[in-house]
Structure 1
Amino acid sequence: MFEGFDERTVAGDGADIFCRIGGDGPPLLALHGYPQTGAMWAQIAPRLAGRFTLIVPDLRGYGRSSAPSNDAGNDAYSKRQMGRDMAAVMNELGHDRFMIAGHDRGGRVGYRMALDLPERVAKLAVLDIVPVSDVWEHMGAKEALTTYHWAFLAQPHPMPERLIAADSVFYLDHTIASWTKAKSLAAFAPEALAEYRQSFSRPAYVEAACNDYRAGSTIDWRLDRDDRAAGRKIKAPTLALWGANGLPGKGVQPLAVWQSWCDHVEGHAIDAGHFIVEEAPEETLKALLKFFG
């Protein structure tokens, strides 16, 4: 994977962030989601690197980045703190202003950065998500069954960690397969799947992923509510892509949700489940190239 890319570990804001870096051109930060690593971008990274300087990090608590200890308020795994990591990384790499493409949790880091650091984010693409507050506040019985992991992973330590540790690879494989359109692991390249399994087999990183969701149920939700109450909106031009068979696509249309959060947003569904980059790489790549220009 990522042939020709450099690999570096860069100091974030309290975490060491592993990055793959390739290409030349305007800087594009590509952020992964749960329970994956930056390897999720491998199928389209070479072609993105043909147009952009592509930076593909592992978020704190995932992959080859470090997994700092959590705190009582879950600030350490808030999307604001993860965004501070990314801002520090881009500073170190010499990029003051840049574009972001984020899938799943990475999309939440991306939109939080666009709200917190609008001067840094030139364009934003959010892949198969709606904001944290919209998920929690519209979670009825149907949604609770399909997004049960939001409440499960957010339970106090160590309950979810202990249960996942009984067979962490089974949990990961079952989870990601269930979120694809085909309900299988066929969309995932063997090398990428091996990286996801390796990352998720380490107790500290299972705990970090749970901390990510604990932050989602507390500080991330509060930050969204604060922004909404203050009337703050995302200023950067935004692209919303979602899987027609993904979880957001089965509720209120994601584009309609993002219109209430963004000054300028466009987007459409992709014929896929949740993992649009891996399930529909050509269609997703085409949309990203058109948007980022």
Structure 2
Amino acid sequence: MSEAALPDLFPGFETRHVETRSGSLFCRVGGRGLPLLLVHGYPQSHAMWHKVAPELAKRFTLVIPDLPGYGRSSIPALSDDHAAYSKRAAGNAMIDLMSALGHDRFALVGHDRGARVSYRMALDHPDRLTRVAVLDILPTFDYWRRMDRAFALKIYHWAFLAQPAPFPENMIAASADYYLDHTLASWTAAKDLSAFHPDALAHYHAFFSQADRIAATCEDYRAGATIDLDHDKADVEAGRKIDVPLLALWGGAGIAQSGETPLDVWRRWASDAQGTAIGGGHFMAEENPEELLQKLLPFLEKDA
């Protein structure tokens, strides 16, 4: 399906293309109130927020972008050091985006890869954030540290997508629709696609049908196995912590809940961390938007 024919999941929202250090970012902007940036994860796009955006827009001015290389945003060039796809580079692009839209300080909610960008922003740009929520992840450093047999089977894609190009790209492109649907379904509590609106799936399939965007998402994971891990290690070794108030939410049947309690981990990384599990799997904004809003709003509204 062409981009022009994709369903509009955010009626009443403005469409913007904003130039940043990582190229042009596509985003939707709408609502009223203090600014709130919502950052999606893999293998999705900004469309993943469509079930919670209407309620959040009653209280906040929402900025909902596609990450560099994803959806309809520009595709940074690949490189041997994977730096263009580091979470630091993506975070810098988000800072550029919010600055261009006139938001000096803002709240931030990220899911999956977007949550990795979010906690990196909290470490690199604490003066720009009022508070940050991370959905169904642990820090990259902790994921690699706990990669035993059981966890490796659960998140096999971390090692698969990080393999040298073009191996994972070619394997995925050979049956991209199957790979995408399997990935989405397997990370839900129900192990099917019932949580995903057909219009949202149309968005995900549209961008995942493009070979250069499949390559960009693989590069995202190569960065996660190299430069992102280096950045996390540097913070751990320096004793650096997140000082922005942090909320960690995870699916009861999600990815982050394996092993140690996620909140225990985040309390090692953040001086002011709270959090809890909610019902469902990894894709809580689509599997359980009502409970996600119940947990997010009290946290976000403390600054309203």
Q: CA deviation at 1:154?
A: 0.2
Q: Does 1:221 align with 2:229?
A: yes
Gaps of 5+ in 2: 1-8
Which residue type is aligned with residue 119 of structure 1? D
1:279: which partner in 2?
287
Runs of 5+ unmatched residues, structure 1: none
**Residue pairs, 1:252-263, within 5 angstroms:** 252-263=260-271
Equivalent position SS for 1:111: helix
Task: Confirm whether residue 190 of structure 1 aligns to residue 224 of structure 2.
Answer: no
* 2:54 matched residue in structure 1: 46
* Cα shift readout 1:202-257 (whole Å, capped 9, x = no counterpart): 00000000000000000000100000110110010000000000111122110000
Q: Is the 8 A contact 2:134 2:249 kept in 1?
A: yes
Report the TM-score when normalising by structure 1.
0.99
Q: Which amino acid aligns with 1:269?
A: A
Whole-Å Cα distance in 1 between the matches of residues 288 and 22 of structure 2? 35
- Check conservation: 2:22, 2:74, Cα contact below 8 A: no
Equivalent in the alignment of 1:165: 173
Q: Distance in 1 between matches of 2:14 and 2:199?
A: 18
Q: How far apart are the structure 2 equivalents of 1:185 and 1:278? A: 10
* Conservation of the 8 A alpha-carbon contact between 2:242 and 2:271: yes
The question of 1:61 aligning with 2:105 is answered: no
Matched letter for residue 169 of structure 1: D
Identity %: 55
In the TM superposition, 1:97-176 aligns within 5 A as 97-176=105-184
Aligned residues of 1:10 and 1:17 also touching (Cα < 8 A)? yes
Which of 4, 23, 26 aligns to 2:34? It is 26
Residue 71 of structure 1, CA deviation = 1.3
Please provide the CA RMSD for this pair. Answer: 0.6
| Post-superposition offset of 1:163 | 0.5
* CA–CA separation in structure 2 for the residues paired with 1:21 and 1:169: 29
Query: Aligned to 2:203, what secondary structure does the other structure show?
Result: helix
Say how many residue pairs are matched.
293
